[in-house]
Structure 1
Amino acid sequence: MALLTLEHIRRTFTADQQTVTALKDITFTVDPGEYVAIMGESGAGKTTLLNIMATLDQATSGKITLNGLDLNQLPEKDAAKFRRAHLGFVFQNFNLLDTFNNQDNIFLPLVLAKTSLKEMRRRLTPLAKELAITEILKRYPYEISGGQRQRVAAARALITQPELLLADEPTGALDSHNAASLLHLFDQVNRQGQTIIMVTHSAVTASHAKRTLFIKDGIIYHELFRGDQSQADYLAKITDSLTALVAQGGGVS
């Protein structure tokens, strides 16, 4: 049974008294334990789609369900609680609070969910070790490197044990070494069963996923599955698909 189902998702906006269509007709499913990358040209609707899956935005029409729950029918007053309970987020700009130390940043979603301190510490200890952030937990985000901040942000996303991890350009602000470190973490937690959906403009980043969706003009125009291919072979196929996308008009971002 699919964990996430999107059926004929459409999203329109009104700008300068004109209707702008960000997503025309998006349909796909994601099974438990999948690792999916979403790519496409600038303005194709990737972030809009991610925001709809994150319940930060709502589709104009169509249906989206997570474990059978219709997210379009989720009352706005319950959306924040739903996100804390079911979703984890990793953003390009980290979204950490400089007034909290790193440990408190990680604990924040559990504090809001009224989780006991004992349980928060029980979850953090192995996670901090896995992410190599134990030594910086009492420091503040502005005192550590970008790569360390992204690992703290990843810990905050994973400590809730989310059904679905959503990542928006997670390597965009990182150098190649720190990007590789974060992607290794994603590979590892995915092998442990974590479902991941990641928006990225980077073919190298997407090559870590098991499936890649390409969006153009508000629809899914192409899809690749890694299968038994090596990462290098899969990267080559992603690159070929991006070249074809650009040749049809528009750049990728």
Structure 2
Amino acid sequence: MSLLELKHVKKNFEQAESIETVEALKDISFEVQEGDYIAIMGESGSGKSTLLNLIATLDQPTSGSLQINGQNLADLSENQAALYRRKNLGFVFQNFNLLNTFNNQDNILLPLVLNKTPVPQLQQRLMPLAKSLKLTELLKRYPYEVSGGQRQRIAAARALITKPQIILADEPTGALDSYNSELLLRLFEQINQAGQTILMVTHSALAASHAKRILFIKDGLIFHEIFRGEQTSEQYLQQITNSAALLVRG
């Protein structure tokens, strides 16, 4: 059974002060297996972020179904959806979404605290993760006291500390320079190789080239799909670039 399955998902939005309906997603179907690393690409307004919001249960589809481990997400109550997000999903955002009133350690531990994780387990989860992300010396500092790349690693640690089934990353390298982008993408590769499932929305062909599979979305539909397979990094990046150019030309 697939970890995540989308069947004929459609999402419409009513425009404010207008009778027109915007079809953000027209007919999206695909499956995600455990251990997949999928990048989702497309132009602005193509439906990428809408798709991520539906998977995160932050919104509901107009029609079609989304299932995780066979559970239809539309059947969850608001409280159940919140619990589902805390227990099954880890989020990495472009703007980090860290709380400046909490130090970095408390930002990382927040999902575990919300899950009422016993206090002795907090440090057991935290320290190995902080060490692997080179954050040990930064834990007692605050987000505004560290660099953008360090804040993104703190956000990644917060996403990973609950050992989620799926990491949802929305333009995670968008606010980073090339050095810190590469560090984060290497981290994603490492955790994926260890079995972590990742869905990443990105505009960057270079960022997408770290994924095993890429879905191209245009006008609310899956326009194209490619797999890395046995290609070299250079071959794969070239295929992505070509596909992205084809996407723009339509």
TM-score, normalisation: structure 1: 0.97
Rounded to whole Å, the distance in 1 between the matches of 2:40 and 2:145 is 32
Rounded to whole Å, the distance in 1 between the matches of 2:76 and 2:232 is 40
Q: Which of 240, 243, 246 in structure 2 is aligned with 1:241?
A: 243
Aligned to 1:251: none
1:246 CA displacement: 1.2
Aligned to 2:200: 198
Rounded to whole Å, the distance in 2 between the matches of 1:231 and 1:155 is 27
The residue type equivalent to 1:181 in the other structure is L
Aligned to 1:97: 99
The residue type equivalent to 1:210 in the other structure is K
For 1:66-215, list aligned pairs within 5 A.
66-215=68-217
1:195 CA displacement: 0.2
Rounded to whole Å, the distance in 2 between the matches of 1:247 and 1:82 is 39
For 1:34-49, list aligned pairs within 5 A.
34-49=36-51
Rounded to whole Å, the distance in 2 between the matches of 1:29 and 1:116 is 35
Post-superposition CA distance 1:132-173 (Å, at most 9, x none): 001000000000000000000000000000000000000000
Query: Secondary structure in 2 aligned to 1:48?
Result: helix
Query: Secondary structure in 1 aligned to 2:8?
Result: strand
Q: Which of 9, 18, 21 in structure 2 is aligned with 1:19?
A: 21
> Which runs of no fewer than 5 residues in structure 1 stay unpaired?
249-253
> Which runs of no fewer than 5 residues in structure 2 stay unpaired?
none
- Deviates further, 107-116 or 75-84: 75-84
1:17 CA displacement: 2.1
**Large movers: runs of 4+ above 6 Å:** none
1:81 CA displacement: 1.3
Rounded to whole Å, the distance in 2 between the matches of 1:35 and 1:231 is 15
The residue type equivalent to 1:6 in the other structure is L
Is the Cα–Cα contact under 8 Å of residues 223 and 247 in structure 2 kept in the other structure?
A: no
Rounded to whole Å, the distance in 2 between the matches of 1:231 and 1:67 is 32
Post-superposition CA distance 1:213-249 (Å, at most 9, x none): 000111101000001111221110000001111122x
Aligned to 1:222: 224
Aligned to 1:6: 6
The residue type equivalent to 1:196 in the other structure is I
Across the aligned residues of Structure 1 and Structure 2, the Cα RMSD in angstroms comes to 0.6
1:42 CA displacement: 1.5
The residue type equivalent to 1:95 in the other structure is N
The residue type equivalent to 1:195 in the other structure is T
- Deviates further, 224-233 or 178-187: 224-233
Give the length in aligned residue pairs. Answer: 248
Rounded to whole Å, the distance in 2 between the matches of 1:72 and 1:232 is 41
Post-superposition CA distance 1:169-198 (Å, at most 9, x none): 000000000000000000000000000000
Rounded to whole Å, the distance in 2 between the matches of 1:17 and 1:110 is 44
Post-superposition CA distance 1:55-100 (Å, at most 9, x none): 1111110010011111011111221111010000000000000000
